[in-house]
Structure 1
Amino acid sequence: MIEVRDLRVRYGGRSVAHVPELDVAAGECVAVVGESGSGKSTTLMALLGLTENAEVTGQVRVCGVDVLRAGPRELRAIRGARAALVMQSPQAALSPTTRLGTLMRRALKLHGVTADPAEAVEAVMLDRAILRRYPHEISGGQAQRFAIALAVALGAEVILADEPTSALDVTVQAEVIGVLGRLRAERGLALLLVSHDLALVSAVADRVLVMRAGEVVESGPCARVLSEPSHPYTRELLEATP
């Protein structure tokens, strides 16, 4: 579902993210970890062609589409409908003056999808009454699940999740991750997860990439990388985990 070869993102000639190789298959979860500023979120944005004013080179295929060579129409066809981005703070992307149900129906209409919004929110363990609420009337965990519900309603085959559990309490974190895990199992979703929470990554990811200063310093099966790290930086991350 995601195939990356020698992806490099530069701003003003300065490389801020370089990923030699990254593959995510249907039903698989791959995590990208590292400290703030390591290039994780930039990599995620580059996969959907959302890095404005950046020079992006390499090969990126998402749902079979050559992202770096695709035109606006082709990109519009995969963004949301086939590959959905769940941001770190989804409430910031929701119009504060529009009810959630209206927001979802507009997105569905834009992509020509006839899904039932109520079924979509119930699929992520939310009450359908949430569709009558405004963004400020829901919690951070509900906002994360609503963003996932929108991806489900659009029929997304790939979810790119940027710190989906940051600033959430442990119970809500478990709910959000549980929803993503169930969707992977039931619908064969491919999940690319950006996180700095190694405990979370160890519980959900099949494979992991470790980034530092824009470079991938280690990658491999999650169990091996987190139990027997080969790079000093990975060991530092593990030692820094409470």
Structure 2
Amino acid sequence: MIEVRELRVRYGGRLVADVPELDVGPGECVAIVGESGSGKSTTLLSLLGLTENAEVSGEIRVCGVDVRTASPRALRGLRGARAALVMQSPQAALSPATRLGVLMRRALKLHGRDAGEQAMARAVAAVMLDPEILRRYPHEVSGGQAQRFAIALALALGAEVILADEPTSALDVTVQAEVVALLCRLRAERGLALLLVSHDLALVSTIADRVLVMKDGAVVESGPAATVLAEPAHPYTRELLEALP
């Protein structure tokens, strides 16, 4: 579902992300970890062609679409409908003057999906939300509900790939566990490919099949999550693990 080879992202000549190889298959979760500024989010955004004003080189394929050479129309068909981006603070991306149901209906119509009341109710019910939430404004829901709504929107659009950028960092511990359990269940039930960006190694250990560790824009270690987290080979990975409470 995701195939990356020799990806390099530069801003003003400065290399901010260098990823030699990244693959994510159906039903698989790959996590990119590292401290702030290590290039994790830039890598994620580049997969949908969202690194504005950046110089991007290498091969990027998402759901079979060559992101670097695709037309604007092909990219519109990919973004949201096949590959969905779930941000760290979904409430910040939602219009405060628009009810959640209106927002979902607009997105579904834009991508030619069923925008009926029953279809929307099924989508939110799949992420354990009461359909009544569709009548609320973003400020009337909690952070955890907003995050689950963002995932519900991705499911309603038929996304095959979810790109999640720190999806639990703004949530309390209990709600974090709920969101992680939800993502795990959706992977198993729907075969979603999940690329997770996080600095939370405890979270990564519970959900990821494979891990990439980034520092200063470069991948310094990668491999099966159980191996990387239990027997880290790179000093930086060991420092990250030793920094855990």
TM-score by length of 2: 0.98
Give, in angstroms, the shift of residue 71 of structure 1.
1.1
- From 127, 130, 133, the counterpart of 2:133: 130
Hey, what's the Cα distance between the residues in 1 that align with 2:45 and 2:54?
Answer: 11
Hey, what's the Cα distance between the residues in 2 that align with 1:91 and 1:71?
Answer: 30
The one-letter amino acid of 1:190's match is: A
Counterpart residue number, 2:17:
17
The one-letter amino acid of 2:48's match is: L
Identity of aligned residues (%): 82
Counterpart residue number, 1:139:
142
Counterpart residue number, 1:72:
72
Give, in angstroms, the shift of residue 88 of structure 1.
0.6
Counterpart residue number, 1:165:
168
Structure 1 position 39 matched with structure 2 position 36: no
Hey, what's the Cα distance between the residues in 1 that align with 2:18 and 2:181?
Answer: 31
Contact map agreement 2:143 2:171 (CA 8 A) in 1 = yes
Per-residue CA deviations over 1:35-90 (Å, capped at 9, x if unaligned) read 00000000000000000000000000000000011110010001000000001111
Indicate the SS of the match to 1:96: coil
Give, in angstroms, the shift of residue 235 of structure 1.
0.1
Give, in angstroms, the shift of residue 13 of structure 1.
0.6
Per-residue CA deviations over 1:3-56 (Å, capped at 9, x if unaligned) read 000000000011000100000000000000000000000000000000000000
Indicate the SS of the match to 2:148: helix
Structure 1 position 175 matched with structure 2 position 178: yes
Hey, what's the Cα distance between the residues in 1 that align with 2:107 and 2:40?
Answer: 27
The one-letter amino acid of 1:131's match is: L
Counterpart residue number, 2:104:
104
The one-letter amino acid of 2:244's match is: T
Hey, what's the Cα distance between the residues in 1 that align with 2:170 and 2:244?
Answer: 16
Query: Following superposition, which runs of at least 4 residues in structure 1 exceed 2 angstroms of deviation?
Result: none
Hey, what's the Cα distance between the residues in 2 that align with 1:233 and 1:183?
Answer: 32
Give, in angstroms, the shift of residue 167 of structure 1.
1.9
Hey, what's the Cα distance between the residues in 2 that align with 1:103 and 1:58?
Answer: 35
Structure 1 position 194 matched with structure 2 position 172: no
Counterpart residue number, 2:5:
5
Counterpart residue number, 1:207:
210
TM-score by length of 1: 0.99
Aligned residues: 242
Hey, what's the Cα distance between the residues in 1 that align with 2:150 and 2:7?
Answer: 27
Indicate the SS of the match to 2:219: strand
Indicate the SS of the match to 1:68: coil
Question: Equivalences for 1:143-158 in 2 at 5 Å?
Answer: 143-158=146-161
Contact map agreement 2:29 2:208 (CA 8 A) in 1 = yes
Contact map agreement 2:18 2:217 (CA 8 A) in 1 = yes
Contact map agreement 2:89 2:170 (CA 8 A) in 1 = no
Hey, what's the Cα distance between the residues in 2 that align with 1:169 and 1:65?
Answer: 36
Indicate the SS of the match to 1:146: helix
Hey, what's the Cα distance between the residues in 2 that align with 1:160 and 1:167?
Answer: 17
Q: Name the Cα RMSD after superposition.
A: 0.5
Gaps of 5+ in 2: none
